[in-house]
Each structure stands twice: as C-alpha cells, then as structure tokens.
Amino acid sequence: MALQRDIYQIFTDIVGPENINEEAVILDGYTFNWLVEFNPGPGPGKYMDHRPEAVLLPGNVEEVQAIVRACNKHGVKYKAISTGYGSHGFPQQEGVILLDMKRMNRIIELDAKNKFAVVEPYVVWAQLEAEALKRGLFTTPVQAGSQASVLANVTSGWGMNVMGNHGGHNGRNCLGVEWVLPTGELLRLGPEEAWFCGDGPGPSLRGIMRGHCGAQGGMGVFTKVGIKLHHWPGPPELPTETGGLLTGYRLKKAPDNAKVVTPSFKDYDSMTEFLYLLGQAEVGYAVFRAGEPDHFLSIMAGAQSNKTVKEWHESGLVAEAVKNMPHPISVFLFGRSADEMAFHEKVLLKVLEESGGWIPEFTQNPLFADMRSNESILTLVANDTHFIHHGGGFVIAAGYQGTPASVIKHMGYPMERLKKKYIEEGNIVDDGLDSTYHNSFDNNSYVYMELEYHYDAADPESVNAARRCVTEERDNDREEKDGFEPNDIALCIGDYTKTLQERILDMGPHYGNFHIWQEKIKQAFDPQDASDRSNYGVGLLAKDL
Ligand SMILES: Cc1cc2nc3c(=O)[nH]c(=O)nc-3n(C[C@H](O)[C@H](O)[C@H](O)COP(=O)(O)OP(=O)(O)OC[C@H]3O[C@@H](n4cnc5c(N)ncnc54)[C@H](O)[C@@H]3O)c2cc1C
C-alpha cells in the first residue's frame, strides 16, 4: 500500500527528493536481515512479511521532528533504525515508514577529562573506538560488531558487551539523550548543556526511555546520546596490516602490556567459582566466552573462512579442542606497568589453582601463538560478527542475565543436553557442545549468557530444527527460569508457533505484568500510536490486554 501522493510530497518537502524512496527494489533491502526466518508464518521465509511504505533519510533533528509531527497529523506510523542489523529493526505491520538515520553520523563531542562522548545515530563503535584510543580511553562495543551503531545499542537495544567486566552494561553507560518523543516534541534527558549524567536533576526517565532491552524503535527517535567512556591501558593507536586470518588484517604488533589467557575447567561449578574469585580480586580487563569450541579456535588461531572451520572439524582439531579445554573462558589482562602485569598474572594463577582451573597446553600450540595476541586484541576492537556464520544461520536459544551461579545453572549442562539432541538429529551444526556465549559485568558480579548454535538458513528443515530448539529451551524448567530476562523480549525469537506479541502476553504474568505497565507508558507518550509498536511490549496485541 503506497503512501498517498500528498503525504509523500509532505515528507519529500521535509527531507528533499534525494532522501526519500519508495521503490520496491530499495524497500526490499529493508526486509532482508538476520533472523527473518524466525518470524512466525506459514514456513521459514527469507524476507519480512511487510515492506516499509517508504524509507526516509533525515539529516538533522529538526527534520526528524517534522517527520514525526507529520506522521502524527496524517495517521502514518514510523520506525527508526541506525545501522539496522537484525529483523527487530524492521516493521511488522502495514503503514510504517522507516527512518534510516545514516546521514546523522557525527561524533559531536569527546570529553576526555570527564570521560564521555556525544554521538549521533550512525556513529559506529569502530569510529568512536579510534577517537577514544587516542585519548587513552576505550568504549564498550557489542558482539554485533564494531560496524553497529553506538546510539542504537545504548538507547534502544540491549547493551551486553565484551568489555563489560570493567566497562559495565551499556544501559548504564547511557548518559544524556536527545529524544524526539513519539509526538514530535523534543526532550533532553540529563543536565542541560552537560552529558555526564543521564538522570538529573529531577526524577529519572531512564526506565521509560530505555528499560532493560530498549524500546526497539517503539518510543520515538533518539538523535543524540552521551556515552560513558573508560580507561584504556593500551597504546593510542593500533596499527594494522593485511594478512591476518581472522579478519583479513591483524595488528602489526600486540601491545606489550596486554595478554590473553584462555583457561579451562573440568566442570561449570569450577568455572563459577573462578568467576567469583577473579571478580573479588578485581582482575581481568575483559572476561568472556566465545560460544562453541570452533568459535574459540577462531579467536585463538584465526579462521580465514568457513572453509577453514570445516577443515578444522575434518582434521580433528575441534575434537582435540573439546578434549583439551572442555569449558574455556577468555581473560584479557592489561597492566599499566610490568609490575602490575606480573601481579595480575600471579593473581590469575592463584585463582585458577583455588578454583581447579588450568591453562591448557593446547592453547600454547604454535598454531595459535602468533595469532593469540595480535588477533585477540582485534576481537575486542573489531568484535566477532565475522566468525559466526559458518552454518549460514546463527541463533541463540536463550539469553539470561544474573549472578554467575544462577545463570550458569541453566546455561551449563542443561544447554549441552539440549544441543546434543538437535545435533544428533543432524539438523544443526556439530560445533562441540559447550557453546555458551558469556559477557561479564562489573568484575563478574553479574553475567549474561546465551546458547549459540548454527543452522543452515537456506534449508527449511534445518531452520525448523533451530526454531524447535528455541521453543524447547523455553519450556524446560520454565518456573525456575522466571525472573531472567529472556531474549524474546523485543527480539524476534522464541516459541516459533507464536507471534512475538503472543509470547509477551504469555510471559507478562510471570514478570510482574510488565506488558501492562509498558502499554500504559506507550499510551501516555504516544496517544496517536504513531511510533511503530511491532517490537515494543505487547505491541500489536494491546487490544487483548
Ligand atoms: C549477530 C548479532 C550479534 C548481536 N550481539 C549483540 C550483543 O552482543 N549485545 C547487544 O546488546 N546486542 C546485540 N545484538 C543486537 C543488536 O543488533 C545490537 O544491539 C546493535 O547494537 C544494534 O545496532 P544497530 O545499529 O544494528 O541497531 P538497529 O538495528 O538500527 O536498531 C536496533 C533497535 O533500536 C531501534 N533504533 C535504532 N536507532 C534508533 C533511533 N535512532 N531512535 C529510536 N530507535 C532506534 C531500532 O528500531 C531497533 O529496534 C546482536 C545482533 C546481531 C545480529
């Protein structure tokens, strides 16, 4: 259903004819994305069911306000994306225009003394990292990759990140925001003319603005965000050269004061103990687990392509990794001096001894020696999106956040058993069993974990197996898992027999009826229901409350 001509003209007048488009060939580019095949429907499909009516590229906040006001006036819905990585960025109903924010791409301010930056929506992590490094600072990039938007993550979608052990969750790194409310009014959160704090003076609106998972485009448009930056003990630049296996480039030289260690544990209890002890000692700049064994090998040795990973499986290298490092975890150590580094290493070894962990000989294999440091640092900076596609499709069967013990209880052996079942069916990739992705926050005081697995997105049988696996995970020990934040809040996965909104209706009563409160907020802030609600709360099923 095309926009009425007079309305299309109103939008054209706002952004200019070169910044609006409604041709099918362009719009289809906004229907194809990660996890589309997980949307409920008659069968796994490759495209979203709905095209946006048009795509607009606003160039500044005034244009965004004008678009939003016009939408309110003329009964059109809108949704904003920053870089648009994932099907949660796209509308799931008719009558929605998409605001692609790529023209708003400036770092507005970087205050090294007070450790924050102010950025527009299309500034990506790589851009901010490069500027922060020069000033002895670093940021908190997500596994989605350093090509993803800082603002989208900090204001609107999740916030788990690899650097969280010392840098925290991005929901908390969010300082002030410039926010075009669903009605088109402009609201600035945080002290006027300063971006060091997101909440004051007066009552905080952070819960309404963002909450835990972000409003996913369902509460207006964010045009600027202040993000907290953190200390970086490494060099001000990280020069690269071509030839690295992992990304096609690598660091010319790993920083002298950085070290990557990959200890392993015989079981999940010892790993849990290790996390608590390491956290108490406040050691570990970053602590994370990369998913399945071939994923770890990709970090340690560098996977040039899917073919390399296949060869590792065929040569028995992955099997050897599983045997030698049954439950690995990566710890990045940084020291501001040789003495500090020596201290950190000593503490790490002591904590390993006390928790029953060890540094496997296997990780000292010359195959990994060169890459281990040069490429692993890149993993922090460039992040890992490039090596998770060897099955063609990748999904997470759960994503829980809480204390190490409470999360690992469900993400350890129960996940191994679940995954084994689907591997044995032959429909998902056999990548070794221990496959939990792990982010640590605030010295391991809380963690986030996902079960990651790979399937063939082009094979309906494989996609269906992947979808069944998610559903089965949700049903296992359901009562015990109440209280954890599962990823199907706002993400297009979960029980595939239900729509996202049906899942929220089902889940709400187990989570303090959050969906009812969210709906009240939505109606108060968006009386015309203009900001696309496809991924917000109970969304399209609000009438069933
Ligand atoms: C492979 C993969 C790995 C991922 N890993 C992580 C992870 O480790 N941690 C994590 O937190 N997330 C992760 N994600 C989820 C998500 O992609 C990230 O949060 C990412 O940072 C979003 O950046 P983006 O530019 O792609 O956002 P977009 O897709 O553009 O937006 C994300 C959401 O925010 C909304 N939005 C975007 N910009 C605006 C704006 N200006 N105003 C209002 N709403 C807006 C969109 O409508 C959408 O719902 C992952 C996704 C993928 C595909």
Q: Kindly report the protein residue whose alpha carbon is nearest to atom 13 of ligand 1.
A: 144
Omega before residue 121 within 30° of 0, cis: no
Q: 3-class SS at 268?
A: helix
Q: Which of 77, 93, 153, 170 to mutate to test the pocket of ligand 1 (most atoms within 8 A of CB)?
A: 153
pLDDT in tens, the chain (545 residues): 689 999 999 999 999 999 999 999 999 999 888 777 776 654 556 788 889 999 999 999 999 999 999 999 999 999 999 999 888 889 989 999 999 999 999 999 999 999 999 999 999 999 999 999 999 999 999 888 888 999 999 999 889 998 999 999 999 999 999 999 999 999 999 887 788 888 877 778 999 999 888 999 999 999 999 999 999 988 898 887 776 555 566 778 778 888 888 899 999 999 999 999 999 999 999 998 877 777 777 666 655 667 777 777 888 888 888 888 888 898 989 998 999 999 999 999 999 999 999 998 877 766 665 555 566 666 666 665 555 566 778 888 778 888 999 999 888 888 888 889 999 999 888 877 777 789 999 999 999 998 888 888 888 888 888 888 888 887 777 777 766 766 555 555 667 777 778 888 888 887 888 889 999 999 999 999 999 998 898 888 888 77
Ligand 1 nearest atom to the CA of residue 149, by list position: 25
144 lines ligand 1 (CB under 6 A): yes
Q: Contact, 501 vs 426, CB < 8 A?
A: no
Which residues face 111 on adjacent strands?
A: 116
Q: Contact, 110 vs 131, CB < 8 A?
A: yes
Q: Contact, 263 vs 358, CB < 8 A?
A: yes
CATH of domain 107-231: 3.30.465.10
Other CB atoms within 10 A of residue 543 CB: 6
The alpha carbon dihedral of 430, 434, 436, 438 has a sign of: negative
Please, what's the b/e burial string for 274-306 (b: 16 or more CB within 10 A of its CB; e: otherwise)? bbbbbbebebbbbbbbbbbbbbbbbbbbbbbee
The per-residue pLDDT for 489 is 56
Ligand 1 nearest atom to the CA of residue 220, by list position: 43
The per-residue pLDDT for 502 is 84
Q: Which of 55, 68, 87, 149 to mutate to test the pocket of ligand 1 (most atoms within 8 A of CB)?
A: 149
153 lines ligand 1 (CB under 6 A): yes
In this structure, which CATH number among 1.20.1300.10, 3.40.50.2300, 3.20.20.140, 3.30.43.10 belongs to the domain 5-100? Answer: 3.30.43.10
The per-residue pLDDT for 444 is 96
Q: Kindly report the protein residue whose alpha carbon is nearest to atom 52 of ligand 1.
A: 144
Distances (CA, A) of 235 to 136, 296, 329: 8, 25, 25
The per-residue pLDDT for 42 is 46
Q: Which residue from 438, 397, 442 is spatially nearest to 419, judged by alpha carbons? A: 397
Rounded to whole angstroms, the Cα distance separating 298 from 318 reads 10
Q: Kindly report the protein residue whose alpha carbon is nearest to atom 48 of ligand 1.
A: 89
Ligand 1 nearest atom to the CA of residue 214, by list position: 34
What value does the CA radius of gyration of the chain take, rounded to a whole number of Å? 23
In the chain, where the domains are located: 5-100, 107-231, 255-481, 501-544
Q: Report the topology of domain 255-481.
A: Vanillyl-alcohol Oxidase; Chain A, domain 3 (3.40.462)
Q: Kindly report the protein residue whose alpha carbon is nearest to atom 50 of ligand 1.
A: 144
Other CB atoms within 10 A of residue 166 CB: 21
Please give the distance, rounded to the nearest whole angstrom, from the Cα atom of residue 318 to the centre of ligand 1: 31
- What is this structure's pTM? 0.94
68 lines ligand 1 (CB under 6 A): no
Other CB atoms within 10 A of residue 204 CB: 13
Burial class (CB in 10 A: 0-12, 13-18, 19+), 516: middle
